[in-house]
Amino acid sequence: MTSEPQEREIRHGPVRLSRDRGVAIVSMEDGPAKNALDENMVEGLERAFAAIGTASDINAVVLRGLPEVFCSGASRSLLGALLAGDVNVSELGLPRLLLCCPVPVVAAIRGNAVGGGFALGLAADVMILSERARYGLNFMDLGLTPGMGATWLARERLGDFVGDELLYSTEYRRGRDLRSAPGVNHVVSSDRVEPLALDIARRIAEKPRNALILLKRNQTEPRLRAFDKARENEMRMHRDRLASQDTARLIARNFLE
């Protein structure tokens, strides 16, 4: 994604934060790890959104990944830390960064998005998918019940029955197959995903910041309550599954490198 003119850039590990005409562009750029949600990626996203939260000149955000992969979900190391009890499942509320961002977030999901990576995109205010990219919620393949608010996010954005089917079956679908989903804003060709996201964000950024903050808060409050309730239920399920002996076996067998 190009920006004209481009303002200063800040890198937080694998996450690059740039600014353009009142729009913050948050880019996940860990190619070797396929933008997996490891400790560095999570910290980078947290730091980027913290900076956005205190920036008075930012009125909208674009969250993007790499051309072929938006985010591949939890890393093997993170899953291992969960099994070992080194990470509290309550810490895996990453979509809350988008929900609590004071200004609207546009997710440009050009590449494949898997598990928690797809859940992250589902939390955006505006979501743009690529016709050819693959999207899935593979928690159950790993012996885990869904997390990161996916039990609610999938239903809200994809519809109750389609969302549930993807959670149960772990089926991957092309963006073109999700075109009619109630919470998908746009499904376009791969090369149009990021230009469209930036165009929408720029139009949002033209509006008065105080009005945007008020509207975002109004629109998000019920979503945030539903998300937090889903997370509470998910944590109860997680505690049961993490104690199960077959979870480590399924992670070893089905984790996608």
Tens digits of per-residue pLDDT, 14-65? 999 999 989 999 999 999 999 999 989 999 999 999 999 999 999 999 999 9
Average pLDDT over residues 153-170: 97
Residues 240-256 pLDDT 10s: 766 666 666 665 666 65
Q: What is the mean pLDDT of the chain?
A: 90
Residues 227-244 pLDDT 10s: 999 999 998 887 776 666
Active site residue 238: yes
Cβ atoms of 185 and 197 closer than 8 Å:
no
Cis status of the peptide bond prior to 5, with omega within 30 of 0: yes
Between vectors from CA 130 to CA 129 and to CA 135, what angle results, nearest 5°? Answer: 70
Say whether pLDDT at 6 is over 60.
Answer: no
Confidence of residue 2 (pLDDT cuts 50, 70, 90): very low
Cα(54)–Cα(47) distance, rounded to whole angstroms? Answer: 11
Q: What is the pTM of this model?
A: 0.90
The one-letter amino acid at 72: S
For the chain, which residues make up each domain, given as ranges?
9-190+209-254
Q: Are strands 23-28 and 69-71 parallel, antiparallel or unpaired?
A: unpaired
Cα(26)–Cα(4) distance, rounded to whole angstroms? Answer: 16
- Which pLDDT score, from 0 to 100, does residue 257 have? 56
Give the 3-state DSSP-derived string for the chain, with helices as H, strands as E and coil as C.
CCCCCCCCEEEECCEEEEEECCEEEEEECCCCCCCCECHHHHHHHHHHHHHHHCCCCCCEEEEECCCCEEECCECHHHHHHHHHCCCCHHHCCCCHHHHHCCCCEEEEECCEEECHHHHHHHCCCEEEEECCCEEECCHHHHCCCCCCCHHHHHHHHHCHHHHHHHHHHCCCEEHHHHCCCCCCCEEECHHHHHHHHHHHHHHHHCCCHHHHHHHHHHHHHHHHHHHHHHHHHHHHHHHHHHCCCHHHHHHHHHCCC
Average pLDDT over residues 2-23: 80
For residue 101, which of 53, 62, 55 has the smallest C-alpha distance? 53
Paired tokens of 63: 């969250």
For residues 57 and 90, which has the higher predicted lDDT (pLDDT)? 57
- Which pLDDT score, from 0 to 100, does residue 89 have? 56
Tell me which of 106, 238, 242, 247 is the catalytic residue. 238
> 9-190+209-254, superfamily in CATH?
2-enoyl-CoA Hydratase; Chain A, domain 1 (3.90.226.10)
Residues 56-69 pLDDT 10s: 999 999 999 999 99
